[in-house]
Homo-oligomer: A and B are copies of this chain.
Amino acid sequence: MSGPKDGNPFVDVRFTAEFSNGSKTVEADGFYDGDGIFRVRFMPDRVGTWRYVTKSNRWPLTGHTGSFNVTAATKGNHGPVRVRNTYHFAYADGTPFKQIGTTIYNWIDTPEELQDQTVKTLAASPFNKARMLITQQPTSYQKSFAPPRWPYAGKPPHDWDLTRFNPDFFRHYEQRIAQLRDIGVEADVILFNPYGKWGFETMDAAGDDRYVRYVVARFGAFRNVWWSLANEYDFLRTKTESDWDRIGALVQQCDPYNHLRSIHNGAFIYDHNKSWVTHVSMQNGLAVEEPGRAEMYRDTYRKPVVYDEVKYEGKSPFRWGNLSGQEMVHRFWCGTVAGTYVGHGDYFLVNEDTWTSFGGTLKGESAPRLAFLRKIMEEGPGDGIDPIDRWQDPRVGGKPGDYYLIYFGHEMPASWEFRLYKNGVTAGMKFKVEVIDTWAMTITPVEGEFVAARKDSYDFVDAKGRSVTLPGKPGMAIRIRRLGADGNPAKAETLIDPS
């Protein structure tokens, strides 16, 4: 809609619209898109006729009404991702979302052809979530390339009008969010970061809140958006924990769609028990070196745990960027059997920077193995993998009685005695066992069936006392699925629609 251009429409004009369908009414914030244009976006969650009425403190934008018809979601549109079953995720339509994340902090600030290449790389990758900054981070790359768009009116380094946004920056960002949406990638957008020193990190509370409201008003109607309040929040020394709580509550209040909300730590872990936090976004590489550590944050927060930063695959002199491909894959498997989710980074220097900073192409060896893992996750329980015998044998995740995924990590056993914790198991149940090589990406069925027989007050073993032979290599896993009446393992409850 056209509205006033005079003064500063970013701060002078309030503009929202109420959308109604039957008993449900949603008020969505609009935003000024420059050149006298005001927009309001809406993501309906019901089919049928929706009516709207606009509201504003300016007459030209007030009281406009209308209606439109919302049709069923098109193929491949499962809606936004939500928390499911306490520790897991699913799209709004119930389709499980098995998070395999990556990190591309500044990809929006690169030349267009590099951005296009990044989208292409992602489309062919296993990654279904990407963490990305909104405001810029200075890196070595920028010596030869200056970002053409900035979030505020003005110019770098410090000549900004922090009360006027640059609509062109946000329109461009939105195009990229839409492209990610179309290739099935969730955009974990990072509202604040401590890296850029252009002044966006040291605004006052009014400036921060204005920025948050503008971003949420613009991006909120994209179904694939997640809100990450900050990267390494505690390195932003100008904000206190109560600032983050205020900002978290503000996002919750002004986002009508309740997109996922988290905050990522540097040295100090946030109190993820705070009610505005929907899931844990954790930087701690140590925690996914073995599943016993990885499961611990589930218990302290009772929310999904995403290890968004576990160090990066690479050969950096920095020890946070020198994981081997094997170790990166290992960490994903540790997190997976512990009932948590993991994020990837690729820190091999290409030209002047890395995938994790600037996108482009992947150089590491982990991605195909993560695709292999993702397929296994998607064939697994729809409700997610949980520790089977928590605080006892953290190597075993799954769904009691139905599905088990056992990961041996750096152990190199020559065999594994078939043994299942009692929960969900009854004598006589039959299971199919497969041996998985997480690096070679092979799944080798073990001949015959295993039949559950009581061993003691805790465990069941195979009625014939069978063990599973293993090759004595690291990175091996075992998948165990209960056989149905037809002699086949149960299908995954809900398969991700590959479209």
Contact = CB atoms under 8 A, between A and B. Distances in A.
Interface of A: 268-269, 271, 273, 284-287, 289-290, 292-293, 296-297, 299-302, 317, 319, 391-392, 394, 457-458
Contacts of A458: 319
Contacts of A284: 299, 391
Contacts of A299: 268-269, 284
Nearest to A293: B293
Contacts of A457: 317
A306 to B, nearest CB: 16
* Chain A interface mostly: loop
Given A271-B273, A273-B271, A292-B289, A319 B391 contact: no
18 contacts: A268-B299, A269-B299, A269-B300, A271-B273, A284-B299, A285-B391, A286-B292, A286-B392, A286-B394, A287-B391, A290-B292, A292-B293, A293-B296, A296-B296, A296-B297, A297-B300, A300-B300, A317-B457
Given A293-B293, A293-B296, A297-B300, A319 B269 contact: no
A285 B319 CA distance: 30
B392 A319 contact: yes
Given A286-B391, A292-B293, 18 more contacts: A268-B299, A271-B273, A273-B273, A284-B299, A284-B391, A285-B391, A286-B292, A286-B392, A286-B394, A287-B296, A289-B292, A293-B296, A296-B296, A296-B297, A297-B300, A300-B300, A317-B457, A319-B392
A394 B269 CA distance: 17
The 10 closest A-B pairs by CB, nearest first: A286-B391, A269-B299, A300-B300, A293-B293, A271-B273, A296-B296, A292-B293, A286-B292, A269-B300, A284-B391
Contacts of A292: 286, 289-290, 293
Contacts of A286: 292, 391-392, 394
A406 B370 CA distance: 35
Contacts of A302: 268
Nearest to A267: B390
Contacts of A290: 292
A289 B290 CA distance: 12
A317 B286 CA distance: 34
Contacts of A287: 296, 391
A214 B277 CA distance: 39
Contacts of A273: 271, 273
A331 to B, nearest CB: 13
A144 B268 CA distance: 53
Nearest to A283: B391
Nearest to A319: B458
A117 B392 CA distance: 35
A227 to B, nearest CB: 22
A285 B293 CA distance: 12
